[in-house]
Amino acid sequence: MTNYPDPADLLAHRPPFLFCDEIIDLEPGVSCKSVWHLSGDESFFAGHFPGRPTLPGVLMVEALAQTAGLAALSDGDFTGKLPLFGGIDKARFRRQVVPGETLTLEAHLGRMSRMAGRASGVASVNDEVACEADMMFVIAQTSDL
């Protein structure tokens, strides 16, 4: 079994906005697969929607972006950098995600440069697609913040 880094060791995100609980597959600079275990205790479920808690689609896209960030930041060329959203294309939501489910997040990096990059991602529950999206991001120096 391979030991992968803790997502918090690579991403600048912290709870409650760190959505990747663990990395389950990683090819640095190429792709990442992570999981997000939804306990139902997350605060957004109380208001989205009362009586029918559902994971907001925008948070699924954010979780995919974080997973793409893990793929990029695990490559030594991007150590200490901060990927920021530049755009979202072709986002599609295929099923609801509810408390108690585990969201599997897969992201594959596309064209990358020192200043920007592209990624595609798929979020699924038990191999059933919940969300897919193409993403663009810019690479910021942490000293620029």
Q: Which residues are catalytic?
A: 48
Residue by residue, what is the 3-state secondary structure of 12-52? CCCCCCCCCCEEEEEECCCEEEEEEECCCCCCHHHHCCCCC
Q: How far apart (Å, rounded) are the C-alpha atoms in residues 60 and 41?
A: 17
Residue keyed to tokens 């959203």: 85
**In angstroms, how far is the first alpha carbon of the chain from the final one?**
37
Q: How far apart (Å, rounded) are the C-alpha atoms in residues 16 and 118?
A: 25
